[in-house]
A and B are shown apart, each in its own frame.
Chain A
Amino acid sequence: MTELLIKNGFVFDPINKINGEKMDIAIKDGKIVHKVSGKAQVVDASGLTVMPGGVDIHTHIAGGEVNTGRIIRPDDHVKDVERKTAMTRCGTGYSIPSTFTTGYRYSRMGYTTVMNPSMAPLEAKHTHEELNDIPLLDKATYPLIGDWWFVLENLAKGDIVECAKHVAWMLDITKGYAIKIVNPGGLESWGFGHNVHSIDDQVPNFCITPREIVTGLARVNALLNLPHSIHLHTNNLGLPGNYTTTLDTMKALESVPYNGKPVCHITHLQFASFAGDGWAHFQSASEEISSYINAHNHLTFDMGQVIFTDTTTMTADGPFEFSLYELGGHNKWVNSDVETETSGGIIPFHYKKNSPVNALQWSIGLELALLIKDPWKMFMTTDHPNGGPFFAYPRVLAWLYSKKAREATLKHCNKKAQKKSLLPTIDREMTLYEIAIMTRAGQAKALGLPNKGQLGVGADADVAIFNINPETMDIAQQFKAARKAFKHAAYTIKDGKVVVKDGEVVNNTTPGRTMWLDVQTKDPCVIDEEMRRKFKQYWTIEYDNYPVFDHYLRVPEKLTVKASV
């Protein structure tokens, strides 16, 4: 029995509507409780900001693709190393940190839960092996199933129930958490080097359109009662003028019954909000996109903010990565198609302030975040490492809560981009309360994780404490000091244990759990001879060897879901 009392902090806990009140948080056995005994260890948080542990809804930290990224980038690692200490394993950064380093660096910023958003089901064991080696964090991972042949075939037939059963089976067998869809239809087309260009293009050989895939899987998601919505990377991502495709997709999703719970999470929205016909006329579409979002409630989003640095882009969107490569200026290109399921691509990329396109991308991400009025709809991410590495989050936060910080960066940006940027017209500066929503509460809510992102009684005792005194520090003015505070948490508490103090890891005994969904359908997907035969046809490994066996999750946390089929 361990008890902990966080005394006198300014608490920001949006789910429980607590906005900077000075109060104590009591912890017992890894959970938040009403009160603790006098013997509890005390963390003096007076003058400090207390928030639930950070939650990241979308960050590529583990799995085949990420690891290939690591392998091809020794030049990235050599400039940023993490020494071994008595407490920690050594490792390397920069944009694709090794597993242990990933855990430590998230934890140092007060994060306690992160979601790995793209996992090829065939390589699921690999992802889980890596997640096991990411310490101090709770994790989950989303299998990529938008272009899975079983899904395409069942949806083309219109058999949504059968499709749902297969998806449930897939979540179970890959120990996954949500349905991830990337460039629906495009990845299958990429199998022969093609792509789809609108949501009504036909996918070659499969008699289906991206619209049918997305809305079909959104219905499947509802039938299965999954905690998170479908998680979508839209078609035409990263191409000029793609905002119309994004709008079409959002409108198409209006057809999916909405009962107060979002039907889809559109990820790294920045990359999907480009106007203009071609790179030379590249424009921001943040106004069009945000005004639609402000008028509708059926979706959630994350930013995919761009950071000016040398990073590595990696996505299951193989055709996109190739088109990016063809723009020139890159020395490495990885493509990695996975049979029957998905594709993938990797390119090292340097976002530069003096590039009109990159600078405007930076602006678009922030415009979207600031123009979307409701922070419960839009979350802070960089789509690590696509927009920039996750440890740049404090910089993103500074741009959100401080106009001064935005101006300081904007004035170094490309002149053309400065002219096109809407940022000078936006005065909004986010409060700590809004920051808490965008970085923990909103993300936890969208993920359907009731015990995360909040500090109410019964919640997981994941807490972040920052060296910010809201009474004395004006974060908008002193943005650098606040940024530093977000970079090095005063304390990070995971499952009731102090794991980081003053920005340094002080505990190495907390591996963190891997959450996965056990979706119980009324009659589960039958694995008969027919299915096995199909299996043998579709994949190159046997049915018996396909699943992620239980022992692959070092600390599993099974979340049981009752489906309505």
Chain B
Amino acid sequence: MIILISKRKFDVPVQAACISPDVFKGKTTAEIANMPVTEGNRNLKLGDLFEIQEDNLETPYITINGDAGKVKRIGSNMKTGEIVVNGDCGMHTGEKMAGGKITVNGNIGGWSGNDMKGGLIEVHGDAGDYLASPYRGTATGMKGGVIIVDGKVGSDSGCYLHGGVLKIKGGAGRFLGYHMSDGVILVDKEVDVRPGACMTGGKIVITGTVEEVMPSFTIDSVKPKVKIDDTTNVAGPFYVFLGDLAEHGTGKIFVNKACNPQMKFYEKYL
């Protein structure tokens, strides 16, 4: 197992796409220390910024201690192994991840899990904006894998979601699941406006509260429970909305009936 300890607090962003079990595998600490990273516009070595220790626990396995809040692209393209970040962690963490696991004991920056295809990201804090959303101008988002966030997530999370599961135990920002076409998003607390805008497929399950659904959704039914994945079902009852009509979509938003009495008026259309 490799342990990285930041040598100081970073005051400009650090790019360290090399921090990934797949890249470290089979390398000595000296080789790892020699891997290229940048701090701002300076080309440096990983060893310049982090102290690198090795213990003989199971590999591939990376632990990061200290200040990683400005370190971007940790675990990008990762396929196997596990990374544990003890503290905050910068943007684009787990970008294009295909397998393995990232655990963050702190908050995680924006665009994490961007273009993810598989694996698991667990965040024991909050997540920034654009969690699991694709790069600008791209219309295919996360395709597989699971992201679990204990805290809240920023706006535009799960955009263009095409597969996989997001489980958010806190609240969620605006435009949750924007334009999603497949996959599942589960939110336990308050959801800001416009969840599922322009969605064409998939499910958003809100067990917490939401002020309103978009006018372009139409009520479909009331269901007692909903399936999240093969192992989990969530009990309701839920209002089920279909949309987004503006996109001729067939996505579904499940809204907890008990927590959202303001939606009662929809019942007259049933």
Contacts and interface: CB of A to CB of B under 8 A. Distances in A.
A78 interface: yes
Contacts of B261: none
Interface residues of B, number: 5
A74 B135 contact: yes
B136 A74 contact: yes
Interface of B: 135-139
Contacts of A332: 137
13 contacts: A72-B137, A73-B137, A74-B135, A74-B136, A74-B137, A75-B135, A75-B136, A75-B137, A75-B138, A76-B137, A78-B135, A331-B139, A332-B137
Nearest to A73: B137
Contacts, number: 13
A332 B138 CA distance: 10
Contacts of B139: 331
A57 B101 CA distance: 53
Nearest to A348: B137
Interface string A453-476: 000000000000000000000000
Contacts of B135: 74-75, 78
Interface in A52-106: 72-76, 78
A74 B134 CA distance: 12
B225 to A, nearest CB: 35
Contacts of A331: 139
Given A74-B135, A74-B136, A74-B137, 7 more contacts: A72-B137, A75-B135, A75-B136, A75-B138, A76-B137, A78-B135, A332-B137
Nearest to B134: A75
Contacts of A78: 135
Contacts of B136: 74-75
Contacts of B138: 75
Nearest to A330: B139
A408 B138 CA distance: 31
Nearest to A76: B137
Nearest to A77: B137
Nearest to A331: B139
Can you list the 5 inter-chain pairs with the closest CB atoms, starting with the nearest?
A: A75-B137, A331-B139, A75-B138, A74-B137, A74-B136
Contacts of A72: 137
A72 B136 CA distance: 9
A386 to B, nearest CB: 19
A307 B157 CA distance: 35
A72 B139 CA distance: 13
A77 to B, nearest CB: 9
Nearest to B139: A331
B78 to A, nearest CB: 19
A335 B138 CA distance: 19
